[in-house]
Structure 1
Amino acid sequence: MTYKGYEGIAEFDEDAHIFSGEVLGLKDVITFQGETVSELEQAFHDSVDDYLQWCKEDGVAPEKPYSGHFIVRFDPDLHRRVAEAAGKKKMSVNKFMEKAAEDELRMQG
């Protein structure tokens, strides 16, 4: 589910007969639940809205999911090889890795 740029995922708890979910990609924890799909979707929207309102009232910037920044650790030899390959293509390492990720995702379909 997506709402205002936030992505949520949910699962059904057979024992409790309820859907439970959380917003992905944040350090802050935003959860929601509902007994029906409609209730679940509304609870997701309400939880995101509550989070944004809380941030506004406290004067803090809301966390944005998937900022586009993440740290990847490589073996030093692989790091060197990536840098060399990027240099040969006159690309930054960042652009090289972005293209590699896009190519891999494209191959997965």
Structure 2
Amino acid sequence: MTNVIKYQGYTARIEFDAEDEVFVGHVLGITDRISFHGASVAELTDAFHMAVDHYLDDCHATGREPLKPASGRVLLRIPPEVHAAASIAAQASGKSLNQWAADAIARAAGKPGSHPDH
């Protein structure tokens, strides 16, 4: 069972609040807070779409660029020995460290072969 839904490039994590008997969702991957809720899956989905649409409309009305879940750039801080091992593994596979790391992260995220080609 998955606990995420997607709309307009945004992904939300869904939880069930047993005390209030309602589904609650929060958009992931951005610093702006977008939350919504619904008593049924249909109600929750509608509330998610309305929340994202409202966020995008509000950004447009205020002249602010909407935040996107990912830019395609990641800065990692890893121990030097892991960096060295990754560099060796990348070279051994005939890839740049960036390509090798992107492939490894894509596999771990369940998105094999989706690395950018640069």
TM-score w.r.t. length of structure 1 = 0.83
Quickly say closer, same or farther: Cα 1:103–1:51, change in 2 above 3 A: closer
1: CA distance, partners of 2:42 / 2:82: 48
Aligned equivalent of 1:82: 86
Higher relative contact order (CA 8 A, sep 6+): 1
Bigger radius of gyration:
1
Q: Which moved more, 1:32-41 or 1:81-90?
A: 81-90
**Matches for 1:48-67 after TM superposition, within 5 Å:** 48-67=52-71
Give per-residue Cα distances to partners, 1:9-43, cap 9 Å, x unaligned: 21111111111111111111100011111111110
- Report what 1:2 is aligned to: 6
Structure 1 unaligned spans of 5+: none
Counterparts of 2:26 and 2:96, CA distance in 1: 35
Q: Give me the identity figure in percent.
A: 38
| Residue type at the aligned position of 1:30 | I
Bigger Cα displacement from structure 2, 34-43 vs 95-104: 95-104
1:13 corresponds to which of 8, 14, 17: 17
Query: Counterpart of 1:15 in 2: which secondary structure?
Result: coil
Q: Which amino acid aligns with 1:25?
A: G
1:52-90 superposed Cα distances (whole Å, 9 cap, x missing partner):
011101111111113222222211122123224434545
Q: TM-score, normalised by structure 2?
A: 0.78
Distance 1:18 1:70, change over 3 A: same
Q: How has the CA–CA distance of structure 1 residues 87 and 42 changed in structure 2, closer, same or farther, with 3 Å as cutoff?
A: same
> Residue 103 of structure 2: which of 95, 99, 105 is its match?
99
Segments of structure 2 that go 5 or more residues without pairing to the other structure are 113-118
